[in-house]
Structure 1
Amino acid sequence: MVAATCDTLGLSKVDVVANDTGGGVAQIFAARHPDMLSSLTLTNCETHDNVPPKAFLPAVLLARAGLLARIARPLARNVSRARKLLYGSGYQNVSLHPRDLLAVESDLAALKVPTLVVWGTGDVFFRTKWAYWLRDLIPGAREVVEIRGGKLFFPGERSRELVVELRRFWASRS
């Protein structure tokens, strides 16, 4: 879908910046279409076989059992409890599986496209170890930039910090 969108828009080279499940999709896109990438930036996201992340598993299991909708109303009365139990659970069906990322690992291990890894260190879903795993796997990745205390959606909450790193990364390639 990413490649088809680029084709439709007439984009032959793109800089991809991706977070969360989009990071998993971006890894698959990068592995299958490295010629379309100018650069790749990954932030806290699915990696290797961490799909879904273990901290998200309760929400996935409830959805699979058909119980997520039933408990949504009571949970809505206690938002902090809901966040702890189901944080971010917006999907009934998991669309990304470990096999999808595992299938492209050898291609990622050959990816020489300039790659930046920027990771929030306070994320309970995607621990910092995955950032370094990506850096060590992808030959085009040179560093991991840690955003101290940043959580899964730090790119939206602390976008200035991400933009500084993106600009530095892109300028270093010029």
Structure 2
Amino acid sequence: MAHITLPQATVTYRELGPPDSPHPPILFVHGALVDSRLWSAVAAPLAQQGFRCLLPDLPLGAHRTPVTDRAALSPAGVAELIHDFLVALDLRDVTLVGNDTGGGVCQFLIDAHPERIGRVVFTNCDAFDKFPPFPFNAIFALMRSGLSTRLLTTLLRPRLLRHSPVGYGLLARSLDPALTASWLDPVQTDSAIAGDFAALARAIGRTDLTGIAPRLHRFTKPVRLVWGTRDRCFTPELGRRLAGLFPDSAVTEVANASTFVPLDDPGAVADAIAAAATLRTP
């Protein structure tokens, strides 16, 4: 994996596909307590089709290197970090793809820094006052210190609990136990990473997306939504409401997929991204 040192943090990332691709680059943004491997089964076929795919591990709880500046650990702050990542790598006309908390971060990014973004693909994600949705709003409220974060996530060491509705069980139909365990390992074993996530949880508790929603109509470039219909956290109606904020939007509903639609149906997500990435921007 490559890494890049930004003022806020050192970010590790994977790059798949040809660096000189004729297509716009694709940047994948994951959510809280997961890392870029959420997107592996989506990015791999896109890379084989000739798309340049960048998959950063963002400081959202499953990262391995503590951040330099915890003041950056807010949704808007992580959006700034992603913007700095784009600038540092001189990425332009980017196809931005977000899931879960990462989709909320993407909304902050296109509100503050739309100039390097050519188009957006949202999969099931936070929107409006669902940031985060029940029951994760209650769980995050209990994780606002490093100690409580370590204690609560340690309770999820057994697979039965980790894949229950208070863990990852609401988010996907099929979960890899080794992958979900590795996502929680940093906050369970590293007090600095636990402190990073606690700072993020506190900031999320002070934030929602209703403030920026009325401004999102200013993003006139293509927006596509790929939405799992079995999601009890981010319902199809929420996806349709989010799509309605943008002048150029369309929704593809994916049956039998939940929040982690990149895991439940990576083919549907990859197809939608490939179609979106070829759209010309105004």
Task: Place the TM-score, normalised by the shorter chain, in its bin.
Answer: 0.7 to 0.9
**What is the identity, as a one-letter code, of the residue corresponding to 1:146?**
E
Determine the structure 2 residue equivalent to 1:163: 270
Task: Return the match for 1:27 from 102, 107, 124.
Answer: 107
Determine the structure 1 residue equivalent to 2:93: 13
**What is the identity, as a one-letter code, of the residue corresponding to 1:40?**
V
Structure 1 residue 13: Cα displacement: 2.1
Unaligned runs of 5+ in 1: none
2:224 is aligned with 1:116: yes
Change (3 A) 1:106 1:79: same
Determine the structure 2 residue equivalent to 1:154: 261
CA distance in 2, matches of 1:33, 1:72: 34
Determine the structure 2 residue equivalent to 1:86: 167
CA distance in 2, matches of 1:96, 1:157: 26
Once the two structures are superposed, what CA deviation does each residue of 1:86-129 show, in whole Å capped at 9, x if it has no partner?
Answer: 33896434243574523322320221011001101111221111
Task: Return the match for 2:213 from 98, 101, 105.
Answer: 105
Is the contact between residue 48 and residue 98 of structure 1 (CA under 8 Å) also seen in structure 2? Answer: no
Structure 1 residue 24: Cα displacement: 0.6
How many residues are paired up?
Answer: 173
Determine the structure 1 residue equivalent to 2:124: 44
Change (3 A) 1:5 1:63: same
Give the helix-richer structure, 1 or 2. 1
Query: TM-score, normalization: structure 1?
Result: 0.84
**What is the identity, as a one-letter code, of the residue corresponding to 1:96?**
I
Is the contact between residue 156 and residue 167 of structure 2 (CA under 8 Å) also seen in structure 1? Answer: no
Moved more, 70-79 or 48-57: 70-79
Is the contact between residue 262 and residue 269 of structure 2 (CA under 8 Å) also seen in structure 1? Answer: yes
- Provide the secondary structure at the position in 2 that maps to 1:103: coil
CA distance in 2, matches of 1:52, 1:156: 20
Structure 1 residue 12: Cα displacement: 2.7
Determine the structure 2 residue equivalent to 1:53: 133
- Provide the secondary structure at the position in 1 that maps to 2:137: helix
Change (3 A) 1:164 1:78: closer
Is the contact between residue 20 and residue 46 of structure 1 (CA under 8 Å) also seen in structure 2? Answer: yes
**What is the identity, as a one-letter code, of the residue corresponding to 1:101?**
L
CA distance in 2, matches of 1:55, 1:99: 17
CA distance in 1, matches of 2:158, 2:101: 28
Q: What is the aligned-residue identity percentage? A: 25
Is the contact between residue 123 and residue 150 of structure 1 (CA under 8 Å) also seen in structure 2? Answer: yes
- Provide the secondary structure at the position in 2 that maps to 1:116: strand
Structure 1 residue 81: Cα displacement: 7.0
Structure 1 residue 23: Cα displacement: 0.5
Structure 1 residue 67: Cα displacement: 4.6
- Provide the secondary structure at the position in 1 that maps to 2:123: strand
Moved more, 76-85 or 124-133: 76-85
CA distance in 2, matches of 1:160, 1:21: 21
Structure 1 residue 135: Cα displacement: 1.1
CA distance in 2, matches of 1:15, 1:30: 12
Structure 1 residue 73: Cα displacement: 4.5
